[in-house]
Amino acid sequence: MFDRIKKAFSKEAKDTFSPSSQLAGNQVSEWAGTQGLGYSEQGSGKGFSLEGKVSGKRWRMEVGRPSRNFIRGEELRARAELGINEDAAVLIMNRPLKEALEKKAYSIYTDSLQTTADPNLPEEMRWLAMYEEVGWDSLPRPFWERYSILADARENALAFVDTGLADLLMGWPEPGPSEEVPFMLMLLRGKAYLRMEYAPSDMPTLQHASAIFTSACESAIGGLSTDISL
């Protein structure tokens, strides 16, 4: 089940990049205009970016060359500074990616011939060692079969992942990303991040990913804000 992700740790997979053939810039630009979002191209065949606000906080989403060797093709990533509790750390990761990262980490740590850390290893491996996996009964079993949640404290995860966000994470439009497509949604140092392999590279996936990210920002601000005026 995990061969698709494990193979992506090779150098060849990291160097592979091809721009989307399914998505035209005018499609994204027109949709962005209807949503009140800013749109800009990063150059021919190099991707594009979107900018907007959620609860008064600026967010940015872009599609372009992958920054992780477990992502092939295009990467869809987003970032927002939320001004929430900077000590709160919550990481939602699709389970096949988590297990592939764990296996990769184990093989490195048990390799007696490897004496130094590989600088190309993703920081997500450190997070697996730093944070505990948490769970609760109010979310359905299929959610936990697809996703893993790691956090510095269980109460922070509970404050972040409400039913609405969980429903969006399970409600990808068809054909939608499969369970093995690398996906991460994170709260770290007062900021929200999304990182995923953009597959399928179509408008419904982009629209749903943006809905997930903005909903995650709203949930984090509502549950973990340090501003008592909110």
| Closest-CA residue to 87 (of 148, 136, 134, 151) | 151
pLDDT, tens digit, 9 for 90 and up, residues 141-154: 999 999 999 999 99
Cα separation of 208 and 212, whole Å?
6
Q: Is residue 70 part of a domain?
A: yes
Give the mean pLDDT of the chain.
86
The residue with greater pLDDT, 122 or 70, is 70
Instruction: Say whether pLDDT at 181 is over 50.
Output: yes
Q: Is residue 40 part of a domain?
A: yes
Residue 229 in any domain: the answer is no
Which stretch of 41-55, 93-107, 110-124, 164-178 has the lowest confidence by average pLDDT?
A: 110-124
Residues 72-105: pLDDT tens digits?
999 999 999 999 999 999 999 999 999 999 888 7
pTM given for the model: 0.85
Domain boundaries, position 44: 3-224
pLDDT tens-digit map of 105-143? 777 766 655 545 555 567 888 889 899 999 999 999 999
Contact 208, 173 (CB under 8 A): yes
Q: 230 in a domain, yes or no?
A: no
Examine residue 210 and state whether it is found in any structural domain, yes or no. Answer: yes
Is residue 42 within 8 A of residue 64, CB to CB? The reply is: yes
Mean pLDDT of 30-42: 93
pLDDT of residue 115: 45
What residues does 84 pair with on adjacent strands? 225
Question: Residue 2 CB: number of other CB atoms within 10 A?
Answer: 14
Residue 100 near residue 69 (C-beta atoms within 8 A): no
Q: Are 159 and 181 in contact (CB under 8 A)?
A: no
Is omega for the bond preceding 19 within 30 degrees of 0, making it cis?
A: no
Is residue 101 one of the residues assigned to a domain? yes
Helices and strands: H and E segment counts in the chain:
9, 9
Report whether 54 contacts 230 (CB < 8 A). Answer: no
Number of domain units in the chain: 1
Model confidence at 157: pLDDT above 70: yes
More confidently predicted of 176 and 226:
176
The verdict on residue 151 lying in a domain is yes
